[in-house]
Structure 1
Amino acid sequence: MNNVTLLGMPGAGKSTIGVLLAKALGYDFLDTDLLIQNEEGMLLREIIAKKGLDQFKKIEERVNASVQVDKTVIAPGGSVIYGAKAMEHLASISKVVYLKLSYQELEKRLGDLTKRGVVFEKGQTLRDLYHERTPLYEKYAHVSINVDGLGIGEVLEEVLQNL
Protein backbone atom coordinates (compact mmCIF):
# COMPACT_ATOMS: atom_id res chain seq x y z
CA MET A 1 0.00 0.00 0.00
CA ASN A 2 2.07 2.91 -1.26
CA ASN A 3 -0.63 5.53 -1.81
CA VAL A 4 -2.08 8.05 0.64
CA THR A 5 -5.68 9.35 0.56
CA LEU A 6 -6.48 12.59 2.38
CA LEU A 7 -10.03 12.92 3.74
CA GLY A 8 -11.74 15.89 5.31
CA MET A 9 -14.23 18.68 5.03
CA PRO A 10 -13.80 21.34 2.35
CA GLY A 11 -11.18 23.77 3.62
CA ALA A 12 -9.32 21.14 5.68
CA GLY A 13 -6.32 21.43 3.35
CA LYS A 14 -6.55 18.18 1.35
CA SER A 15 -5.33 19.70 -1.91
CA THR A 16 -2.74 22.04 -0.38
CA ILE A 17 -1.26 19.39 1.92
CA GLY A 18 -1.66 16.76 -0.79
CA VAL A 19 0.63 18.57 -3.24
CA LEU A 20 3.27 19.19 -0.54
CA LEU A 21 3.02 15.61 0.73
CA ALA A 22 3.43 14.26 -2.81
CA LYS A 23 6.59 16.37 -3.25
CA ALA A 24 7.96 15.23 0.14
CA LEU A 25 7.36 11.56 -0.69
CA GLY A 26 8.32 11.76 -4.37
CA TYR A 27 4.75 10.70 -5.28
CA ASP A 28 2.25 11.92 -7.86
CA PHE A 29 -0.76 13.99 -6.76
CA LEU A 30 -4.34 13.27 -7.84
CA ASP A 31 -7.31 15.54 -7.11
CA THR A 32 -10.28 13.31 -7.97
CA ASP A 33 -12.60 16.34 -8.29
CA LEU A 34 -10.54 17.25 -11.37
CA LEU A 35 -11.03 13.72 -12.74
CA ILE A 36 -14.79 14.11 -12.29
CA GLN A 37 -14.76 17.51 -14.03
CA ASN A 38 -12.70 16.10 -16.92
CA GLU A 39 -14.97 13.06 -17.37
CA GLU A 40 -18.15 15.14 -17.20
CA GLY A 41 -16.85 18.19 -19.09
CA MET A 42 -18.31 20.49 -16.43
CA LEU A 43 -17.33 22.11 -13.14
CA LEU A 44 -18.55 20.34 -9.99
CA ARG A 45 -21.15 23.02 -9.26
CA GLU A 46 -22.45 22.71 -12.86
CA ILE A 47 -22.77 18.93 -12.51
CA ILE A 48 -24.71 19.40 -9.25
CA ALA A 49 -26.92 22.11 -10.81
CA LYS A 50 -27.64 20.15 -14.01
CA LYS A 51 -27.76 16.55 -12.79
CA GLY A 52 -28.68 16.93 -9.12
CA LEU A 53 -26.98 15.76 -5.92
CA ASP A 54 -27.88 12.09 -6.17
CA GLN A 55 -26.46 11.80 -9.68
CA PHE A 56 -23.35 13.75 -8.66
CA LYS A 57 -22.76 11.34 -5.74
CA LYS A 58 -23.07 8.36 -8.13
CA ILE A 59 -20.54 9.91 -10.54
CA GLU A 60 -18.21 10.71 -7.63
CA GLU A 61 -18.44 7.17 -6.29
CA ARG A 62 -17.82 5.61 -9.72
CA VAL A 63 -14.79 7.82 -10.44
CA ASN A 64 -13.21 7.32 -7.00
CA ALA A 65 -13.89 3.57 -6.99
CA SER A 66 -12.03 3.24 -10.31
CA VAL A 67 -8.83 5.05 -9.30
CA GLN A 68 -5.81 2.85 -10.11
CA VAL A 69 -2.58 4.54 -9.10
CA ASP A 70 0.80 3.79 -7.56
CA LYS A 71 2.90 6.08 -5.35
CA THR A 72 0.21 8.76 -5.40
CA VAL A 73 -1.34 11.14 -2.89
CA ILE A 74 -5.09 11.13 -3.59
CA ALA A 75 -7.30 14.07 -2.59
CA PRO A 76 -10.97 13.26 -3.17
CA GLY A 77 -13.81 15.71 -2.60
CA GLY A 78 -15.22 15.89 0.91
CA SER A 79 -18.42 14.09 -0.12
CA VAL A 80 -16.56 10.96 -1.27
CA ILE A 81 -17.41 9.34 2.08
CA TYR A 82 -21.05 8.93 1.01
CA GLY A 83 -19.92 6.26 -1.47
CA ALA A 84 -19.12 3.01 0.34
CA LYS A 85 -17.65 1.37 -2.79
CA ALA A 86 -15.35 4.33 -3.36
CA MET A 87 -14.22 4.41 0.27
CA GLU A 88 -13.61 0.66 0.46
CA HIS A 89 -11.55 0.91 -2.72
CA LEU A 90 -9.51 3.89 -1.52
CA ALA A 91 -8.93 2.19 1.87
CA SER A 92 -7.70 -0.93 0.04
CA ILE A 93 -5.18 0.93 -2.17
CA SER A 94 -3.98 3.60 0.25
CA LYS A 95 -3.45 4.72 3.80
CA VAL A 96 -6.42 6.98 4.56
CA VAL A 97 -5.57 10.11 6.57
CA TYR A 98 -8.40 12.26 7.96
CA LEU A 99 -7.52 15.96 8.30
CA LYS A 100 -9.85 16.82 11.17
CA LEU A 101 -11.07 20.38 11.74
CA SER A 102 -13.29 21.66 14.55
CA TYR A 103 -16.55 23.21 13.42
CA GLN A 104 -15.36 26.64 14.57
CA GLU A 105 -12.18 26.40 12.47
CA LEU A 106 -14.16 25.13 9.48
CA GLU A 107 -16.51 28.11 9.63
CA LYS A 108 -13.51 30.48 9.69
CA ARG A 109 -11.86 28.87 6.66
CA LEU A 110 -14.82 28.54 4.31
CA GLY A 111 -16.18 31.25 2.07
CA ASP A 112 -19.06 30.76 -0.36
CA LEU A 113 -19.74 27.04 -0.36
CA THR A 114 -21.68 27.00 -3.63
CA LYS A 115 -18.59 28.26 -5.47
CA ARG A 116 -16.63 25.34 -3.99
CA GLY A 117 -19.06 22.72 -5.33
CA VAL A 118 -19.88 21.53 -1.82
CA VAL A 119 -22.54 18.81 -1.73
CA PHE A 120 -25.45 20.11 0.37
CA GLU A 121 -29.00 18.80 0.67
CA LYS A 122 -31.73 21.48 0.46
CA GLY A 123 -32.14 23.20 3.83
CA GLN A 124 -28.95 21.68 5.23
CA THR A 125 -26.59 23.95 7.16
CA LEU A 126 -22.82 23.75 7.35
CA ARG A 127 -23.21 22.51 10.95
CA ASP A 128 -25.58 19.73 9.77
CA LEU A 129 -23.10 18.73 7.08
CA TYR A 130 -20.21 18.71 9.56
CA HIS A 131 -22.07 16.46 12.00
CA GLU A 132 -23.25 14.16 9.21
CA ARG A 133 -19.79 13.69 7.67
CA THR A 134 -17.52 13.58 10.74
CA PRO A 135 -18.46 10.00 11.83
CA LEU A 136 -18.02 8.80 8.23
CA TYR A 137 -14.54 10.32 7.97
CA GLU A 138 -13.65 8.69 11.29
CA LYS A 139 -15.06 5.34 10.15
CA TYR A 140 -12.88 5.13 7.03
CA ALA A 141 -9.69 6.80 8.30
CA HIS A 142 -6.63 4.73 9.20
CA VAL A 143 -5.21 7.85 10.90
CA SER A 144 -6.87 11.08 12.14
CA ILE A 145 -4.90 14.29 12.52
CA ASN A 146 -6.36 17.35 14.23
CA VAL A 147 -5.30 20.28 12.05
CA ASP A 148 -6.87 23.10 14.11
CA GLY A 149 -4.45 25.95 14.61
CA LEU A 150 -1.64 24.23 12.70
CA GLY A 151 0.21 25.88 9.84
CA ILE A 152 0.69 24.06 6.54
CA GLY A 153 4.22 22.95 7.46
CA GLU A 154 3.03 21.59 10.81
CA VAL A 155 0.19 19.62 9.19
CA LEU A 156 2.62 18.19 6.64
CA GLU A 157 4.98 17.13 9.46
CA GLU A 158 2.11 15.47 11.36
CA VAL A 159 0.99 13.55 8.26
CA LEU A 160 4.55 12.40 7.48
CA GLN A 161 5.02 11.21 11.07
CA ASN A 162 1.78 9.20 10.89
CA LEU A 163 2.50 7.39 7.64
Structure 2
Amino acid sequence: MSREFERHEYLRYSHYRTTPDYAVVMTAPRSVRFDEGVLARLDRYVREHPGTSSSSVANMFIDEALKSYEHPGVNFRPGPTGRRAALAGGPDVWEVITALDDIRNEDPQISEADLLEELGTVTGLTTTQIGIAVRYYAAYPDEIDERIALNRDVADREEKLWEAQQSLLRKRKT
Protein backbone atom coordinates (compact mmCIF):
# COMPACT_ATOMS: atom_id res chain seq x y z
CA MET A 1 0.00 0.00 0.00
CA SER A 2 1.47 3.37 -0.98
CA ARG A 3 1.85 6.24 1.49
CA GLU A 4 -0.42 8.40 -0.67
CA PHE A 5 -3.16 5.75 -0.50
CA GLU A 6 -2.74 5.45 3.28
CA ARG A 7 -3.02 9.23 3.66
CA HIS A 8 -6.20 9.32 1.60
CA GLU A 9 -7.68 6.41 3.56
CA TYR A 10 -6.87 8.23 6.82
CA LEU A 11 -8.55 11.39 5.58
CA ARG A 12 -11.53 9.42 4.31
CA TYR A 13 -12.27 7.92 7.71
CA SER A 14 -10.98 10.72 9.88
CA HIS A 15 -12.99 13.63 11.19
CA TYR A 16 -10.17 15.85 9.97
CA ARG A 17 -10.15 17.19 6.44
CA THR A 18 -7.21 19.10 5.07
CA THR A 19 -7.54 21.88 2.54
CA PRO A 20 -4.63 23.73 0.97
CA ASP A 21 -4.80 26.47 3.64
CA TYR A 22 -6.14 24.90 6.81
CA ALA A 23 -7.48 21.80 8.54
CA VAL A 24 -11.20 21.57 9.22
CA VAL A 25 -12.54 19.51 12.11
CA MET A 26 -15.74 17.85 11.01
CA THR A 27 -18.46 17.20 13.55
CA ALA A 28 -19.52 13.65 14.24
CA PRO A 29 -23.11 12.97 13.16
CA ARG A 30 -25.54 11.61 15.74
CA SER A 31 -29.00 10.23 15.29
CA VAL A 32 -31.29 11.85 17.85
CA ARG A 33 -35.04 11.46 18.18
CA PHE A 34 -37.07 14.46 19.33
CA ASP A 35 -40.68 14.65 20.45
CA GLU A 36 -42.99 16.24 17.88
CA GLY A 37 -43.51 19.32 20.06
CA VAL A 38 -39.76 19.83 20.41
CA LEU A 39 -39.30 19.47 16.64
CA ALA A 40 -42.06 21.99 15.98
CA ARG A 41 -40.45 24.54 18.32
CA LEU A 42 -37.02 23.85 16.82
CA ASP A 43 -38.38 24.38 13.29
CA ARG A 44 -40.10 27.60 14.37
CA TYR A 45 -36.88 28.89 15.95
CA VAL A 46 -34.93 28.15 12.75
CA ARG A 47 -37.55 29.95 10.64
CA GLU A 48 -37.39 32.97 12.95
CA HIS A 49 -33.57 33.09 12.85
CA PRO A 50 -32.37 33.13 9.24
CA GLY A 51 -28.92 31.68 8.69
CA THR A 52 -29.40 28.93 11.26
CA SER A 53 -30.18 25.27 10.72
CA SER A 54 -31.89 22.66 12.85
CA SER A 55 -28.52 21.05 13.46
CA SER A 56 -26.73 24.26 14.47
CA VAL A 57 -29.57 25.36 16.74
CA ALA A 58 -29.87 21.94 18.40
CA ASN A 59 -26.10 21.94 18.95
CA MET A 60 -26.21 25.45 20.44
CA PHE A 61 -29.07 24.69 22.82
CA ILE A 62 -27.62 21.34 23.92
CA ASP A 63 -24.24 23.00 24.54
CA GLU A 64 -25.92 25.74 26.58
CA ALA A 65 -28.00 23.22 28.54
CA LEU A 66 -24.89 21.20 29.41
CA LYS A 67 -23.02 24.36 30.47
CA SER A 68 -25.99 25.39 32.64
CA TYR A 69 -26.03 21.90 34.15
CA GLU A 70 -22.29 22.13 34.89
CA HIS A 71 -22.69 25.65 36.30
CA PRO A 72 -25.94 26.02 38.26
CA GLY A 73 -26.93 29.67 38.35
CA VAL A 74 -25.77 30.36 34.79
CA ASN A 75 -28.24 30.62 31.95
CA PHE A 76 -28.07 31.98 28.42
CA ARG A 77 -29.89 34.95 26.98
CA PRO A 78 -30.14 36.49 23.54
CA GLY A 79 -29.04 39.99 22.68
CA PRO A 80 -27.97 42.21 19.82
CA THR A 81 -24.50 40.64 19.77
CA GLY A 82 -25.71 37.05 20.14
CA ARG A 83 -26.41 34.65 22.96
CA ARG A 84 -24.27 34.89 26.05
CA ALA A 85 -23.77 33.37 29.50
CA ALA A 86 -25.45 35.28 32.32
CA LEU A 87 -26.17 34.87 35.99
CA ALA A 88 -29.78 33.86 36.56
CA GLY A 89 -31.58 37.10 37.35
CA GLY A 90 -28.34 39.04 37.11
CA PRO A 91 -25.75 40.49 34.77
CA ASP A 92 -23.86 38.72 32.03
CA VAL A 93 -20.81 36.75 33.17
CA TRP A 94 -18.53 38.93 31.02
CA GLU A 95 -19.77 42.03 32.86
CA VAL A 96 -18.87 40.51 36.24
CA ILE A 97 -15.41 39.52 34.99
CA THR A 98 -14.86 42.99 33.48
CA ALA A 99 -15.74 44.61 36.81
CA LEU A 100 -13.40 42.19 38.61
CA ASP A 101 -10.56 43.04 36.21
CA ASP A 102 -11.21 46.78 36.60
CA ILE A 103 -11.01 46.56 40.39
CA ARG A 104 -7.85 44.44 40.24
CA ASN A 105 -6.25 46.86 37.75
CA GLU A 106 -6.97 49.80 40.07
CA ASP A 107 -5.31 48.01 42.99
CA PRO A 108 -3.09 45.09 41.91
CA GLN A 109 -2.26 44.33 45.57
CA ILE A 110 -5.90 43.94 46.65
CA SER A 111 -6.58 40.82 48.71
CA GLU A 112 -9.05 38.23 47.50
CA ALA A 113 -11.45 39.05 50.35
CA ASP A 114 -11.32 42.78 49.61
CA LEU A 115 -11.67 42.12 45.88
CA LEU A 116 -14.82 40.07 46.43
CA GLU A 117 -16.23 42.64 48.85
CA GLU A 118 -15.57 45.53 46.44
CA LEU A 119 -16.97 43.55 43.50
CA GLY A 120 -20.10 42.81 45.52
CA THR A 121 -20.47 46.51 46.36
CA VAL A 122 -19.97 47.61 42.75
CA THR A 123 -22.24 44.98 41.17
CA GLY A 124 -24.77 44.36 43.94
CA LEU A 125 -24.03 40.64 43.71
CA THR A 126 -23.59 38.17 46.54
CA THR A 127 -20.35 36.30 47.07
CA THR A 128 -22.14 33.17 45.83
CA GLN A 129 -23.17 34.87 42.58
CA ILE A 130 -19.66 36.19 42.06
CA GLY A 131 -18.30 32.69 42.66
CA ILE A 132 -20.67 31.28 40.03
CA ALA A 133 -19.46 33.83 37.46
CA VAL A 134 -15.78 33.27 38.28
CA ARG A 135 -16.21 29.48 38.14
CA TYR A 136 -17.88 29.75 34.72
CA TYR A 137 -15.07 32.00 33.51
CA ALA A 138 -12.49 29.50 34.77
CA ALA A 139 -14.17 26.79 32.68
CA TYR A 140 -14.76 28.90 29.53
CA PRO A 141 -12.22 31.76 29.49
CA ASP A 142 -12.05 32.06 25.69
CA GLU A 143 -15.82 32.49 25.43
CA ILE A 144 -15.89 35.24 28.06
CA ASP A 145 -12.70 36.95 26.82
CA GLU A 146 -14.21 37.04 23.31
CA ARG A 147 -17.36 38.68 24.68
CA ILE A 148 -15.28 41.24 26.62
CA ALA A 149 -13.26 42.06 23.48
CA LEU A 150 -16.44 42.39 21.42
CA ASN A 151 -17.91 44.79 23.96
CA ARG A 152 -14.73 46.89 23.97
CA ASP A 153 -14.73 47.03 20.16
CA VAL A 154 -18.36 48.15 20.10
CA ALA A 155 -17.72 50.75 22.82
CA ASP A 156 -14.67 52.10 20.96
CA ARG A 157 -16.61 52.32 17.71
CA GLU A 158 -19.54 54.08 19.38
CA GLU A 159 -17.22 56.55 21.11
CA LYS A 160 -15.57 57.44 17.79
CA LEU A 161 -18.98 57.88 16.16
CA TRP A 162 -20.12 60.10 19.03
CA GLU A 163 -16.96 62.21 18.78
CA ALA A 164 -17.44 62.59 15.01
CA GLN A 165 -21.07 63.52 15.57
CA GLN A 166 -20.11 66.14 18.17
CA SER A 167 -17.48 67.55 15.82
CA LEU A 168 -20.04 67.87 13.02
CA LEU A 169 -22.54 69.53 15.31
CA ARG A 170 -19.96 72.07 16.52
CA LYS A 171 -19.03 72.93 12.91
CA ARG A 172 -22.67 73.51 11.99
CA LYS A 173 -23.14 76.05 14.79
CA THR A 174 -20.65 78.53 13.30
TM-score, length of structure 1 as denominator length:
0.24
Q: Answer 1 or 2: which has greater strand percent.
A: 1
Q: Which has the larger radius of gyration?
A: 2
TM-score, length of structure 2 as denominator length:
0.23
Q: Answer 1 or 2: which has greater helix percent.
A: 2
